A and B are shown apart, each in its own frame.
Chain A
Amino acid sequence: MSAVSRAAVEDFLFHEADLLDSWRLEEWAALFTEDARYLVPATDRPDDSPASSLYLIYDDHGRLVERARRLLKRAAHAEFPHSRTRHTVTNVRLLENGGDTARVSCNFVVYRSKREVMDIYPGRSEYELLVSDAAGFRIRLKKSVLDLEALRPHGKLSIIL
């Protein structure tokens, strides 16, 4: 596998952001591999392992698919009617590149508006992307670390970062 370009990785991350902002969440979940994980650590322990410390999100593939499905339901009350979100992705860097896996980091800011209140979620994500000529990129790991000391005043993280 030849090395991937940063432009190609950025295109992929912008596509992911667009799926989330347009609430095409099942398509978002389909970006992930069967052994994928989506992680958000607690705001006070960003470097710990989810198997031994309490996280905010510790999804395996099954749960991230269900997270996406759940959020599309009318009874996912925190997101009904859907909030308006805008994911911006910047500072994309290729940390490891060349094999069938690319490790990528980026900065993000997610704006969420609901009931005329705007909450802002800034942070940094790390991705492990599976690279193939045929299928392009698939996500094996997405770990999003919030630059917040507490989810306040937000009160919840009911959207996908």
Chain B
Amino acid sequence: MFDQPASDWLRDSVRDEKSRGVFRVHRRVFTEPGVLALERERIFDRCWLYLGHVSEVAEPGSFVARKVGGRPLIFNRDRSGAMHAFFNSCPHRGAMVCRERQGRSNGFVCPYHGWSFASDGRLTGQPLPESYAPDLRGDPSLNLHEVPKLAEFRGFVFVNFDGAADSLENYLAGACEYLEIVSQHGEAGMEILPGSQSYGARANWKLLQENSADGYHANTTHATYFAYVKARDGAVLNNYVRGGFGRVRDLGNGHAVSESVGATPWGRPVARWIPPWGEAGKAECDAIQRRMAARLGEERAEIICKGDRNLLIFPNLVVNDIMAVTVRTFSPVAPDRFEVEAWALAPKDESAFMRDMRLRSFLEFLGPAGFATPDDVEMLELCQQGYAACSAVEWNDLSRGVLDEDGPAPAKQDELQMRAFWRRWHSLMTGAAR
């Protein structure tokens, strides 16, 4: 890890000089293997990390296998209906016991020597058990190992590799309010749709968190997307004045949201109509909002149906509630490479028509073949390549709006959302917080 002078360097890697209106981050945080090793220890092993959505393990026996924070996990619901997260590594000699991405099963059989486990993780069988000492039969350390902490908030399921971690709700802090908003789109609840967008970038993972609620890049990075929408619907993004399409809030613990109501040009399946959806779509959007107003009140329904939110949950979860809802989580594999898994979240009771419009809407902007996301990936990779010059050009500048960040309306084109991330990152990395 770091020797003493390097630790001094890490302490100085974020320069937060509010009174001067300056906020800078040293570019070595994106390139150093030692930084990533320390991030694994102080961030990924201590923070609550998104695992999945309850709808992905709706039935007893259903399971999903995926990596979280670089570790292979099994997320499942056992026969009696309880949710679990197990390390997908056999307690015998380590093989991954679950090889399918998802499915339904009353248990798991390790392919290597054939140990079998019930859906609640209990070891239920070992071929030729008589060679083991009697004490070893039924030894709980030979069950599938559960992740130390598993918790759910409004359908979003998180794990924590630190058994001493604070509660999920305390951790989520102000982000609870926004996860709640997303959970309320559907009267009958929400579900993750089939189909994952599994992609990544040849860049540092932190660059995606910086990018995911960055209003400042919209007009330049995504000029072609906005030109497409303007040509189609005549609608434009008001990005020509500060705050023209929304505000940012620091939600505590490194989380942040950018939000607006009615200031963006795209359509929202819940429920802001655009011309391609036709008259039937218009009637349906009106009906969705009317029913929601009866359920949650006029004001709330207006915010949900007409508003947009990009929610950043520290360290690696993004819930973008924009032209569709995407849940996106990402993990580093090297200082200059990360992996992303992204899904579409939708109301369970959505009509077939609106579901179709949602999926089209999602793909007009989002995902590795959308009209916008590939250009984001490109920007992150250009940054990473630029950091090869970081011994000469040392600092990233994230000073936009520092002087106003405690005022009533930090703008979406400011950089408060990134500073919230970096302040938390810095306090965890230097041990000032845990």
- Checking B228, B352, B369, B377 against A40 with a beta-carbon cut-off of 8 angstroms, the contacting residue is B369
Q: Enumerate chain A residues within 8 angstroms of B220, measured Cβ to Cβ.
A: 75
Residue of B101, B194, B373 near A53 (CB, 8 A) is B194
Question: Shortest Cβ distance from B329 into chain A, in angstroms?
Answer: 14
**Is B379 an interface residue, CB under 8 A from the partner?**
yes
Q: Is B200 interfacial (CB-CB < 8 Å)? A: yes
Determine the distance from Cα of A9 to Cα of B409 in the docked complex, in whole angstroms.
60
B367 touches A56 (CB 8 A): yes
Q: Which candidate, A24-32, A127-135, A146-154, is the interface stretch facing chain B?
A: A146-154
Shortest Cβ gap from A114 to chain B (Å)? 9
Cα–Cα, bound, A158→B364 (Å) = 13
Is residue B404 contacting chain A, with contact meaning CB distance below 8 A?
A: no
B7 adjacent to chain A (CB < 8 Å): no
Neighbouring A residues of B364 by C-beta, 8 Å = 63
Q: B363 contacts A58, CB within 8 Å?
A: yes
A95 within 8 A of B: no
Q: Which chain B residue shows the least CB distance to A58?
A: B363
Q: Is the interface of B mostly helix, strand, loop or mixed?
A: helix
Contact A156 B199 (CB under 8 A): yes
Looking at the complex, which of B170-178, B337-345, B414-422 is the stretch in contact with chain A?
B337-345
- Asked if B81 is at the interface (CB within 8 A of a chain A CB), the reply is no
Q: Could you tell me if B199 and A154 are in contact, using CB atoms closer than 8 angstroms?
A: yes
| Contact partner, B362, options A43, A52, A54, A151, Cβ 8 Å | A54
Q: Which of A109-158 contact B (CB under 8 A)?
A: 115, 117, 149-158
State whether the Cβ of B153 lies closer than 8 Å to any Cβ in chain A: no
Chain A residues within 8 Å of B369, by CB = 40, 56-57, 156-158
Partner among A53, A73, A150, A155 whose Cβ is within 8 Å of the Cβ of B201: A155
Query: Contact between A50 and B359 (Cβ–Cβ < 8 Å)?
Result: yes
A103 at the interface (CB under 8 A from B): no
Nearest to A150 among chain B residues (CB) is B198
Contacts of A73 in B (CB 8 A): 223-224, 227
Among residues of A, the one whose C-beta sits closest to the C-beta of B226 is A75
Q: Determine chain A's interface SS by DSSP, over half rule.
A: loop
**Cβ-defined contact, B375 with A155, below 8 A:** no
The answer on a CB contact under 8 Å between A117 and B202 is yes
Contact between B194 and A150 (Cβ–Cβ < 8 Å)?
no
Please name the residue on chain B nearest to A40 by beta carbon: B369
The closest CB in chain A to the CB of B355 belongs to A52
User: CB distance B378 to A54 under 8 Å?
Assistant: no
* Residue A44 CB within 8 A of the other chain: yes
CA distance A117 to B203 in the complex (A): 14
- Contact in complex: B371, A42 (CB < 8 Å): no
Residues in A neighbouring B224, C-beta threshold 8 A: 70, 73, 75-76
**Could you say which residues of chain A place their CB within 8 Å of the CB of B396?**
none
Contact check: which of B200, B344, B363, B381 meets A152 at CB < 8 Å? B200
CA of A29 to CA of B367, assembled, Å: 22
* A48 and B199 form a contact (CB under 8 A): no
Q: A56-B368, A151-B199 are in contact. Are A156 and B194 (CB under 8 A)?
A: no
Distance (Å) between the CB of A30 and the closest chain B CB?
18
Give chain B nearest CB distance to A25 CB in angstroms.
13
User: With the chains together, A53 CA to B45 CA distance in Å?
Assistant: 33
Chain A residue numbers with a CB within 8 Å of B227 are 70, 73
Assess A75 versus B223: contact at CB under 8 Å? Given A42-B195, A155-B202: yes
Our pick among B197, B225, B228 for the contact of A54 (Cβ within 8 Å) is B197
Return chain B residues, CB-CB under 8 Å to A43: 196, 198
Q: Which residues of B contact A157 (CB under 8 A)?
A: 368-369, 374
Using Cβ atoms and an 8 Å threshold, which residues of chain B touch A154? Answer: 199, 368
Known contacts A40-B369, A52-B194; is-contact A78 B375 (Cβ 8 Å):
yes
- Distance, CA A158 to CA B199, complexed state (A): 12
A34 adjacent to chain B (CB < 8 Å): no
Task: Knowing A149-B198, A151-B200 are in contact, say whether A51-B368 is a contact too (CB < 8 A).
Answer: no
Instruction: Report yes or no: A156 in contact with B359, Cβ–Cβ below 8 A.
Output: no
Q: Which residues of B contact A60 (CB under 8 A)?
A: 360
Q: Which of A54, A67, A155, A158 contacts B344 (CB 8 A)?
A: A54
Are B378 and A77 touching (Cβ within 8 A)? yes
The answer to whether A78 touches B377, judged by C-beta atoms less than 8 angstroms apart, is yes
Neighbouring B residues of A54 by C-beta, 8 Å: 193-197, 343-344, 359, 362-363, 367
User: Is B356's beta carbon under 8 Å from chain A?
Assistant: yes
Residue contact A53 to B193, C-beta cutoff 8 Å: yes
Residues of B within 8 A of A (CB): 101, 193-202, 220-221, 223-225, 227-228, 231-232, 337, 339, 343-344, 352, 355-356, 359-360, 362-364, 367-369, 371, 373-375, 377-379, 381, 385
| Residues on A facing B (Cβ under 8 Å) | 40-45, 48, 50-58, 60, 62-63, 66-67, 70, 73, 75-78, 115, 117, 149-158
- A to B CB contacts below 8 Å, 7 in the list: A41-B195, A42-B196, A51-B352, A54-B363, A78-B374, A152-B339, A157-B374
User: A45-B195, A155-B202 provided; 11 other pairs, C-beta below 8 A?
Assistant: A45-B196, A51-B352, A54-B193, A56-B197, A57-B363, A76-B224, A77-B379, A153-B200, A153-B337, A155-B368, A158-B375
